[in-house]
Chains A and B, each alone.
Chain A
Amino acid sequence: EAGVAQSPRYKIIEKRQSVAFWCNPISGHATLYWYQQILGQGPKLLIQFQNNGVVDDSQLPKDRFSAERLKGVDSTLKIQPAKLEDSAVYLCASSLRFGQAQETQYFGPGTRLLVL
């Protein structure tokens, strides 16, 4: 089966510019996650969707970050305006079911963002 797709793979922007990332989860997966991974750290959850509803966005900096999952399939994550500290890898993951703690999360290759 096809894995989680993300684009672009790399993005370089200047601070105060805007940027958007796209994620296509594995077909049929109900839950979608966006993570931020800063170099030398583990992933940090930004937002979790179940189908097209938000389950948790408590760690999303809502003054500059936004995310949506239209029709419960693809998702986009946007940053506007970007700051230097947003330089990181943005990972998208999906899992089949919601509410199952033992569910495996399947990750995309990530988008590496550099803010200059």
Chain B
Amino acid sequence: AQSVTQLGSHVSVSEGALVLLRCNYSSSVPPYLFWYVQYPNQGLQLLLKYTTGATLVKGINGFEAEFKKSETSFHLTKPSAHMSDAAEYFCAVSPWGSNYQLIWGAGTKLIIKP
């Protein structure tokens, strides 16, 4: 069965520091890949997605992610963290032949230290 692993349930960075949230998936065929963000008491919002083409994907709020097929990874980065980035981040994949459903990671809570 397909699975998505997010390393670290909590990640803490200082304001202005690099943000790196890790996501690995298990699939022999590269799926479609998504990052969603969930702010407190709000629904999930798409941050960015990889479908085809360029492996470096840019999203909203200065985030980007790189699809690395050889590493089965789709890590999320932002050069400089802002206090408003504090939220929970979910990686999800849509494998082939799955009724196009999303398989979700457990989420990583990003904490920003002033």
Q: Which residues of A are in contact with B by a Cβ distance under 8 Å?
A: 3-4, 40-45, 48, 55-56, 91, 93, 98-110
Contact = CB atoms under 8 A, between A and B. Distances in A.
Q: Chain B contact residues: over half helix, strand or loop, or mixed?
A: loop
Interface residues of B, number: 27
A22 to B, nearest CB: 15
A41 B32 contact: no
Interface string B64-83: 00000000000000000000
Interface of B: 4, 9, 31-32, 36, 41-46, 49, 51, 90, 92, 94-96, 98-102, 104-107
The 7 closest A-B pairs by CB, nearest first: A42-B104, A107-B43, A102-B51, A107-B44, A101-B100, A101-B94, A109-B43
A35 B44 CA distance: 11
Given A101-B32, A102-B49, A104-B49, A42 B99 contact: no
B19 to A, nearest CB: 19
Given A41-B106, A43-B104, A102-B32, A110 B96 contact: no
A42 B42 CA distance: 14
A42 B45 contact: no
